Amino acid sequence: MLKFYYAIVALGMWIGAGIDRAIETYMRALGAMPGFGSIMQKMPHGRVNVGNANGGYAIANGQIKIELNKDFFVPDHRVTVAVSQVFATTAPNASDVRRFFSQIQLNSNEGVIFTAPFDMFYDMMRYLENASAPAIYFGVAAGAPATALFSFNMHHANFRAALDLLTGLQTANFSTLNLTLSVNPDNANGFLGGVGPAAATYQVAVDAVQIADPAFSGTDANSRKAIVYGKARHHYKAMAQKVNVAGGVSPQELLLDTGGKTRFITFHSYTAAGVLANGIIDTINLSAGGVDYMNNVSFAALQQENIAERGFNQVGFACFDLGDDSKAWIPMKDLNSCKLKYSTLAGAPAGCIINVGQDYSIGLEALNA
C-alpha cells in the first residue's frame, strides 16, 4: 500500500513539475522504507576499524600516514585522535585541538578526495555536527602528561542531503586509499601555555561506517559498476590562500573549482599571527551561470545565518550554505571558470590571512541529482 501511495505521489510530481523531480520525490519516499533509501541514518550499517597509527614526533614537522582497508560501501570514515605530551617546566593551561595538525588529506589512486588545512576541515565537520567535544587534561609539570582526545568525521555521503548516498565511497574499487595528517611542531601544537615540551605521542584510529548490503556494494567489480551508489564523488578542498599585506580595504578574487555542484563555501579569517578573528572580511560576491548566489553579502550576515540555521558560532568562520537539496546547489559542470570575489574591511589588520574552502560533488548531474 505504501509503495502504491508513493508511486501516485511521484506520478503527480511528473505531471506537475517534470519527470526529474518525480524521480527525486520517489527516491526520497523510498528513503523512509526499510531496505531502500538514500539517507544513511535509515540504513543498517556497521562500524569497522580500517586503520591505526601510533607514533612520537620531534619538534620538526612529521606526518601520520595511514593506509585504509578497502571493503564495502562507506558513507563516512570516523577519525579518533589521542595525544599525550609531557611538559618539564609549566603545564599547559588551554587547548585548541585544531592546532595539533596543520594539514589533512585523503588520497586514492583515482586522485585527491579531501585536502585542506586541518582547522578548516575540522570546523567544517563541527558545522555539520560531526566533531566531538574534546576531552582535555592539562597534566602536571614534570609529572603527569597533558592529554587530548577528540574525533571527527570524513563525510563521503553528502550529510543530510536527500540523495546523500550517491557520493558514498565504493572503497573496493580503489587500489590505494591513504589518510595523511601533517603534525605541527611540539612547541606549537594544540596544548597552549606549556613550557618545556617533550615529544608528543599520537594515536590515530580510523573507523569506517560501512553498508554491507549487496544493493549498495557488489562483491565484484562488474556488479559494482551496475550500482548507482558511489558513482558520484564528494570533495572538500582549500582554495588559494590570500594575504592582505598592507591591511585595510582590499578587493580579492579567486577561482573556484568547476566541474561539479557546489554545496558549501567556507571562509576562515586570521590575524597575521594565525589567530582566528572577526572584523576582517567585509562583503562577498559570487555569480555562476548568470545567477547571483551572493551579491554584497556580508561576512557577519553569513555568521548570523550559521547561528540561526545550525547553532554554530565560531569566531573568524562563516559558511555559505546552499542547503540539503542538491537541486539547489551551484551547478558548475559546464563553466569554464567561476570567480569568488570579496573585500576586506577598512579596519582589517596588516598581514591578515583569508582561507576559502569549497565543498562540492562531481558526477551528480549524470545521476539526475
**CA torsion angle 92 96 98 102 (round to 10):** -40
Cα four-point dihedral sign 287, 234, 231, 112: positive
What pLDDT is recorded for position 223? Answer: 85
What pLDDT is recorded for position 4? Answer: 46
What pLDDT is recorded for position 160? Answer: 80
Geometric angle at alpha carbon 150, from 144 and 155, rounded to 5°: 160
What pLDDT is recorded for position 61? Answer: 56
Residue spans of the domains in the chain: they are 1-30, 40-225, 239-367
In the chain, the N- to C-terminal Cα span, in Å, equals 27
What pLDDT is recorded for position 348? Answer: 97
- Low-confidence spans in the chain with pLDDT less than 70: 1-45, 55-61
What CATH class is the domain 40-225?
Answer: mainly beta
What pLDDT is recorded for position 211? Answer: 83
Do 40-225 and 239-367 come out as alike in CATH topology?
Answer: yes
For helices 19-30 and 2-17, give the axis angle rounded to 10 degrees: 160
Architecture in CATH for domain 239-367: Distorted Sandwich (2.70)
Cα atoms in the Cβ-side hemisphere of radius 13 Å centred on 100: 28
CA dist 93 and 264 (Å) reads: 35
What pLDDT is recorded for position 43? Answer: 57
